[in-house]
Structure 1
Amino acid sequence: MNLRTRKFLNTAILSGIFIVGLIAGVVVFDRVLMPSFTTGSGTRLIPDVTGLTQEEAENIARESGFDFRVLRKEHSDSIPEGYVISQRPVPGSPAKKGRRISVVTSLSAASTPVPDVIFMHFRSAQLTIERSGLKIGQIIYQHSDTIRKETVITTSPPPGDTLELGDKVDLVVSMGPETGLVRVPNFMGQLIKDAEEIASREGLILRARYRKIPAVPENTVYRQDIDPGALVERGSSIFVTVARPNE
């Protein structure tokens, strides 16, 4: 082996030793020294206090050697009032002893009073309730001798009660004075005078229109504008077509 070859081999061996040593140093630093730096004296891992009450979270933070404060409070529909929603720094991150953990805690869902829509027209009441952040619940119709038709008689809950946003308000709406409902008789095929007697008995008004109708006996009801059996208010008018008498 000549001198030149021997120098080349020595250089290669030294380079290999250097590379192996460098790799070993990196591994030792990463696996041994780094953890001691991050979790050593004065440095700790941030505890997870989310989902705890404010009191519980503060106790754990201070027992772990950290300061604690409530950064702000937010309304929440899913987390009970007074519980921690989020925190900074994030749980598990290394931090020096005495560092402050800031949290956001929950408030109850946002609330609003039930607006006073009594004696308002139903459509106006509906808009007023929806604009306040509430929803229309059940609508109950009742007859009233003193409150106009389509006017709100009362609400449930009553005006001024506090509800959470998105809750429902039930309405009682006037149908106007109670006149009673009757079923429309079958007038077709009846003589007009008989049909008028039946209508009068049921509290209905019969209004006849005469037409020349071939093959239908004179003064006989041929057609009616409201089907037999339909419910109408007492006092309603029923229009019928009657065969005109022969001239």
Structure 2
Amino acid sequence: MTTTTGDLTGALVDGRYRLQRLIANGGMASVYEAHDERLDRTVAVKTITASGVAGFDLEAFTHEARTIARLSHPNVVAVFDQGVHEGLPYVVMEYVAGTTLRDLLNRRRRLRIEEAVELCGQILDGLQAAHDAGLVHRDIKPENILLKNGGRGDRVKVVDFGLAEAVHGEGRRGGPLLATAAYVAPELVRGRPASPASDVYSTAILLYELLTGEVPFDGPDPGQVAQRHLAEDVPSPRLIAQDVPEGLAQLVMLAASRDPAARPVDAGAFARRLNAVDARPVAMAAGQPPRPTRAVQTTMVVPQGPNRRSWKALVTLIAIVAVLAAVALAGWWIGVGRYTSAPSLLDQDKSSVVAFAEEHGFEVEFADSAYSESVPKDQVLTQDPGVGERIRSGGTITVVLSLGPERYEVPELAGVDEDEALAALDEFGAEVTVERDYSTEYGKGEVVSTSPPAGDEVKPGAAITVLVSEGPPPLTVPDLVGMDEDEAEEKLEAEGLDVGDVSERYSDTIPEGAVIEHSPAAGDPAAPEDEVDLVISEGPQPIEVPDVVGMNVDDAKALLEDLGFKVKTGQIWFTGTVFDQSKDPGEEIPKGSEIWLWAR
């Protein structure tokens, strides 16, 4: 592919992003302030430079840009778009008007302790959002922390996840070369994959710098600086800034442990410990750090001759000094000496807390455990005294272990009476909605099912829908008219109904043996096993044939037709008198039967 070189100010990227001003320029990338002409907003466009394209993994870049774009957190610079412009990959980000944390440190060298803790907390909040999404930043440093116009609230924005990699995937850019030597985690120097604990280490080094004004390892040779992360433990920031509280200093050293397993597991765990630390500065005399204690050599002069008064005075002086020293020592011991700073036990499990207590000579008591949405089960949730607070040497720290997230299993309630089911759900404060429907399996008032189903774990106060039976569903009587009796009976049995009384009646329209009508009628509601009475047709009603011989043929025909017979005539002469009929007088035949008349 072809690439463009030089300043791209004025270029129109992807037909919508007008590059207006070069903000920053590095060895691998340049950042421009740009105008999104489609959405009429200011954005930042980061382009990989021509020198950075060599060996560039575009597929990985695209994948990570899309992953980062799914992050939505006030402490992470949002990513809006990505693509390739004239051979140069680019990513479009939220434009943050402000400065970098590096600029702030250049002006002030170090921050106030409370301010450093607040800024670091916001950085960790943003990193935790990335860790939850499966991303590791890999290059936390002041240059990658933006401060929004120096304001309050969520002023911190973590930027430049271009070096991030999926936590659970294979490292695509392995090795520490893409990280910054002063902040690089030891495992990256060894070429091992990055993890959330790597970001914890870099953030601890950043916090060290905020508190002291310098990084623990520095020098002109990045390689040598990186090797120091492997070979040396990060010292206490109190060696440089003695106003840093002991608990906070211990947390910095813990988070910057060379062993990743000894650090807080991710940014969230680091943030919880940071929130628990007493961040109040240690009071110093006249604002200056105390001088180190010096050993003072004293020489006693003994007189050469007998001098009883001088000797007594000397003994008296020594006694006074001894008493004063004892009183001072006792006062120091009562007020200060017998106290130390409470260590951090947060996020440790019970066995490690007990082992730590035995090793460091203090007692530990376990109070009732409590639920927590953020601290895993069986790890320390809170401690008293808190991290960095005063505790007597050999004193007792009261620890509360986490029960993990408070969850309750939805009980099996199918077949249980409604009131009993509601009482069971009320034990964990469920917000219950009752719905009702018919059921052939459960009787009226019994629970049919729940949503979520039995066995699912829910939070206290969760919304649960309970379906209660209204009993068997109402039946509708089928239409049986025209069916023969046996067919009608089978139909009723299939519908869950029974045959009731069966009667017969003549019908001119319904064939003999078929249903004329039934009660309840078709479409009427019925309960299971209700009876349906049937009326079965006997066919047309039989009618007695009258004697029409001797009658006028027309009159005879009219009489027979009025009775419901079908009449046909045959005449020999034209007088029109009936002399014979096909059905004998007095014979009973079905209505509608055919009768012939002969006249002459």
TM superposition score category, shorter chain reference: 0.3 to 0.5
Taking structure 2 as the reference length, what is the TM-score of the superposition? 0.21
Q: Flag the structure with more relative contact order, 1 or 2, with Cα contacts below 8 A and sequence separation at least 6.
A: 1
Q: Which has the larger radius of gyration?
A: 2
